[in-house]
Structure 1
Amino acid sequence: MIRVLIAEDVRILREALVALLGYEEGIDVVAEVEAGDAIVPAALVHRPDVAVIDIDLPVLDGLAAAADLRVRLPECRVLILTALGRPGNLRRGVEAHVSGFMLKDSRPEDLVNAIRDIAAGGRVIDQKLAYAALALPVNPLTDREADVLRLTGAGAAPREIARDLHLSYGTVRNYLASAVTKLNARTRLDAVRIAAEAGWL
């Protein structure tokens, strides 16, 4: 019996997934959660073989939760099921050691087969997304430029970033200008968007 945890914040989708999998022989949905921070606690209690996780979850995003789950319960394999089909998310998923990455417009039977494959030790990656990820250019940002962009995206002003990273205000401005130039962005926030979508933050 394959034990499955479902993490999806949209109730109608979560209940539809539970119902779909309930019809499948050899699959048992042992837990369902609606927020990212509930994934690991539920998994530690119910010990699923496969966690089917959306990315866009409240409190903690699904990829961050998947990375935490990998540390806390490494025997549980993760299948990301998302509408956020950006190559950068696939890259983040690979870094989090997820076993599968599928889009929500996949056929129900493909999802069921993916759960079975992943439970058996396989990997399942959406082909179109994989090709798009391979076509992405190499990350042009230095680690420090990425740190500064990440904090900018979180709403921090350059002076706050300088204080938090123990840098001078001028150095932070230089990192921001360099990142904007490297990414061919119009503004700092545009640079944050480009880098985030590429999976560089």
Structure 2
Amino acid sequence: MASQEIETLAGALSRLPGLGPRSARRAVLWLIKRRETALPALIDALDALSQRLTECEVCGNVDTASPCAICADPRRDARQICVVEEVADLWALDRARLFTGRYHVLGGRLSALDGVAPEDLAIAPLLSRVEGGGVDEVVLAMNATLEGQTTAHYIAERLENMPVRVTQLAHGLPVGGELDYLDEGTLAQALRARRPVA
């Protein structure tokens, strides 16, 4: 039986997505074996991140500065905004390096079952960004779930009378799939095949 401190660390790691109790214990053992090098580096990185982590005031991305690196990058096309449900979706799309515009994170998706209404999401700030001018296209990159498509439809309706082209990712994405779990090839094809929302 391991000490309480080791069990506490393993328990904390096991709550991370993709890590169960066994994987967490293996990670703890790896850190213990490399406690002279890996453990201090991990502790320093976590401490620095916890002190500097912030949410971007423009798009809702998580970064160590606000505006985030994407919003502050002058090479990004401010005329295009890609709307995603969560930060993980933003990171997944940006990893593909095919979208050169900016992003907007909603912070979830509409769900009557879970009690998530439009005012619970960052839809109003998105509308303000578009109303502020300088935006030609809004790409709706919602997950291919019923709630994701409901959210996309709601946003498309809200943007209907604004002078902006509204597109969405192609429906080649698997139904029930989530952007964070898709490979770059699938994401690239979906971005290239985006089309206007009817």
TM-score range, shorter chain: 0.3 to 0.5
Greater helix fraction, Structure 1 or Structure 2:
1
TM-score, structure 2 as length reference: 0.36
- The structure number with the bigger radius of gyration is 2
